[in-house]
Structure formats: structure tokens, C-alpha cells
Amino acid sequence: MGDRTTDAATREAVVLDRIAAFRRRRPRLTDDVITLAHGAGGKASAALVDAVFLDAFAGPERGPLPDAAILDLPGGDRLAFSTDTFVVAPRRFPGGSIGHLAVHGTVNDVAVQGGRPAWLSAAFVIEEGFEVAELRAIVADMAEAARAAGVTIVTGDTKVVGTGAADGVFISTAGMGVIPAGRALGPELVRPGDRVLVSGTIGDHGMAVLLARGDLALEADIHSDTAPVNGLVEAVLAAAPGTRWLRDPTRGGVGTVCNELARDANVAVVLEETALPVAPAVLGACDLLGIDPLYVANEGKVVAVVAPEEADAALAAMRSHPLGASAAGGSVAPASSTCSWATRCRASVERRERRAAHPVPGQRDRPGRRLPALRLPPSDRARLVGLRPQRQRRCAHRGAGHGVPHRRAGPRPA
């Protein structure tokens, strides 16, 4: 029995080494034209950035790609500098607008690099025929968001293009903030045994925008989480000054940033599925549509890796902040760690128990009763309620793939 166990462990180690070698290979850009997949934050995006932009701008020296650059000034000070472009349809959605996103997105990128956001620039590409009243409303949202984040928009630019050359308005913002002396964050600081914390419910923004488009004939009380996280970040760093790494899980969601952490730090990131904070309406919508909430965008959340001795303090700091009331945690393991068969079986049992205790909105939890959180037209209810998408185990291992995992959805067995 012992020999067979050793042989199995050896074979597993060989397979893991091959997977690790494959993951270390540079992504390959095989497309001749740009597709929407290149902007989705997954493997296609990584291939485009590596093959086109890093080849031109970074040269052969490749390292982790954080949310903001760190600039060392001659006097010894350091700045966090980030830039982002915002396109969204619809431009206004439950919980926010493109104006809120344009400020919050850049503020958050600077904050999770340890900077204290202070200054923003804003550039607008406006389509001919765009209504001035809507532009005023978007700019007012930006001004409101800047005041709430404690930043100043100090410069900007506008361009107008012909009808059809832009989808209404595109906004680009750049931001800068001073990094306090002695503050260091990065994947190279992460160690096995560290704790992974997420500051609140995941998937809210992506699902709010998806449902607001109106293409799915599906209604739910889901609001975007768009918000500036710089205050939350400062609270966490004050409570846990040894914090190792921070990210805001925007495109690609929590799953993608954990995969990037696993790749950059050569560790395994273990997430306990039953502990993941997902709002019931978001979970119900994701289940009905076959989408994994781990890979849905967020705009007001933070993923933090902290030392185990500071985990309780960091979690308490998150939960004491208005944006972190639903914070939860996971762990970091050595890169050779795997999720065992027993763990997968236990997770499956826990998942069934959770679904029994919290039925998917729109499905029956007892004869004669329906939950009201999701409201489907009768023509779509019969088609969607029968869907039962499979779930993946929650283990980001050695930089596993960036994209949404392969999921199947089909009618329930009789």
C-alpha cells in the first residue's frame, strides 16, 4: 500500500511540474484581428498585452503587471501611477454610471499599490450627436465621485468624433498618489500560510451591468458595488502593516486575480467555497445563466493577502468599514499543494447543503412557494429554471488559466 501511495505521489508531482512548465510559457497571440475576447481580461487579453504592448514597451525583462506603476523620484519619494479607459453599456446602471467608474477605477488601482490617490486627469472621446444633458450628468457623477474619494481632477482633454465612430462617450483617466515611506506590497512577499481576504460580496458590478442591458429578460435587485476603496485600504494597512499584497478584482473577478497571484508568487491560492461572500440574487442569476461568480467583475472590492498573525486584525478592520461588512478569508498554500478527492467530495456535499438551505431565487423551496428575488417572464421561466450549471472547485494553482472555466448547463435529470 505504501509503495502505491509513493508511486501515485511521484506521478502527481511529475504532472504538476509539467503543468507548471506549461504555465510559465509566454502566451501566444494567434489572432489576426482584435476581438471582444481581447478586452475581457482573460487569456486572450494576456496574449495581446504580452505580444504587442510588452514587446514594444518592456523589452525582454518581464515581471508581474500590477494595477499601477511605482515611480521612484530623485528625492526618495515614491509615486503610484495608473491609467485606465472606461467603456460600458449601458452608461448608467443600478448603483452608478460610467462617470463613477472613471474615477473609482483609477483611484482603486492607485490605492491597492499602496499609494494615497491625490490627482486625476480625465480625457473624453465624444461621438457627434451625443446629448449635452447626458454629458453634464456624467461629469457631475465624476465630480461627486472625486469628492467622495478625496481626489482632485487637475487636467483633461476632449475630442469629438463623427457619428458612428464611438459608442456615445469613452473616458480615460490617469491617477497619481504618494506611497508612504516604508510601505511595500507585491507578490514576491507572499508566503505559504498567509491568509487571503476579500472585502465583500463578489460579482455585484458585473451582474448589475449585465442585467441592466435588458438582453436577458431577467430582473433582479442587484446594484453595482462601484466605490472608492482607498479608505478601506488605509484601514487595512493601519491594522495589518505587514500586509503582503493587494488587488482590486475588476475584469476577470476574484478568480483571475487569484490565478495571477498564484503564477507571480509560485503558490497555490485556496478558497473555501462555502465562505465566499456572494449575494443571494447574484448567486441566483449566475446559476441561472451558467456563470461563475468568481470570474464576474467587481468595482469596489479588495483582495488582500496578509500574514497569518495579522489576519484577524485585517479582517476586523475590513468589517468595521462600510465597504467591508461582508469580508471573508481563504489561505495560501505551497505551489505543490492540490485539492484532494476527499476535499472535492466534501465541497460537493457542502454545496448541496447550502443550496438546500438557500435555494436559488426563482426555484421552489417548498411546494406552492417561489422566492421573489429574480423575476422572469413566463416564457423564459420554464427554460431557465431547469438549468443547473456545474461548478468548479475553488483552487487557483500555479497560475491556472485566466479565463472563465468551462461550464456546462443542461436540463435536470428526471
The grid coordinates listed for 336 are: 505543490
Clarify whether residues 388 and 374 are in a common domain: yes
| Cis peptide, bond prior to residue 90, ω within 30 of zero | yes
Clarify whether residues 192 and 136 are in a common domain: no
Eight-class DSSP state of 180: P
Clarify whether residues 151 and 224 are in a common domain: no
Clarify whether residues 125 and 37 are in a common domain: no
The grid coordinates listed for 136 are: 453634464
Largest Cα separation within the chain, whole Å, is: 76
Domain assignment of residue 405, yes or no: no
pLDDT above 90 (res 57): no
The grid coordinates listed for 91 are: 452608461
pLDDT above 90 (res 184): yes
The amino acid occupying position 326 is: S
Q: How many independent structural domains does the chain possess?
A: 3
Domain assignment of residue 224, yes or no: yes
Residue 398: what pLDDT? 40
Residue 59: what pLDDT? 65
Q: Are 302 and 354 in contact (CB under 8 A)?
A: no
Task: Determine the Cα–Cα distance for residues 59 and 176; give it in Å rounded to an integer.
Answer: 25
Residue 18: what pLDDT? 75
Clarify whether residues 175 and 193 are in a common domain: no
The grid coordinates listed for 328 are: 471573508
> Could you give the C-alpha distances from 125 to 17, 36, 77, 152, 169, in angstroms and in order?
47, 20, 34, 21, 6
Q: Which of 179, 205, 229 is the last residue of a domain?
A: 179
Domain assignment of residue 404, yes or no: no
Clarify whether residues 154 and 143 are in a common domain: yes
Identify which of 138, 174, 134, 180 has the alpha carbon closest to the alpha carbon of residue 157: 174
- Predicted confidence (pLDDT) per residue in 368-407, tens digit: 333 334 444 444 444 343 333 334 444 444 434 333 333 4
CATH of residue 68's domain is 3.30.1330.10
- What is the band of 117 on the pLDDT scale with cuts at 50, 70, 90? very high
Domain assignment of residue 411, yes or no: no
Tell me which residue range forms the domain holding 79: 64-179
- Predicted confidence (pLDDT) per residue in 312-343, tens digit: 999 999 999 999 999 988 777 776 544 332 33
User: Residue 253: left if φ>0, alpha if ψ -120 to 50, beta else—which one?
Assistant: left
The amino acid occupying position 79 is: L
Clarify whether residues 43 and 169 are in a common domain: no
pLDDT above 60 (res 279): yes
Clarify whether residues 58 and 71 are in a common domain: no
Q: Where does residue 50 rank: exposed (0-12), middle (13-18), buried (19+ CB within 10 A)?
A: middle
Clarify whether residues 316 and 346 are in a common domain: yes
Identify which of 184, 159, 154 has the alpha carbon closest to the alpha carbon of residue 170: 159
Residue 269 β-bridge partners = 332, 396
Three-class SS state of 171: strand
Clarify whether residues 286 and 348 are in a common domain: yes
Domain assignment of residue 25, yes or no: yes
Q: What is the mean pLDDT of the chain?
A: 80
Clarify whether residues 209 and 139 are in a common domain: no
Task: Determine the Cα–Cα distance for residues 211 and 291; give it in Å rounded to an integer.
Answer: 13
Q: pTM of the full predicted structure?
A: 0.77
Q: Which of 151, 179, 207 is the last residue of a domain?
A: 179
Residue 236: what pLDDT? 97
Residue 24: what pLDDT? 65
CATH of residue 388's domain is 3.90.650.10
- Helix (H), strand (E) at residue 270: strand 267-270
Q: Are 205 and 281 in contact (CB under 8 A)?
A: no
Clarify whether residues 54 and 140 are in a common domain: no
Q: Which of 179, 198, 228 is the last residue of a domain?
A: 179
Better-predicted residue by pLDDT, 268 or 243: 243
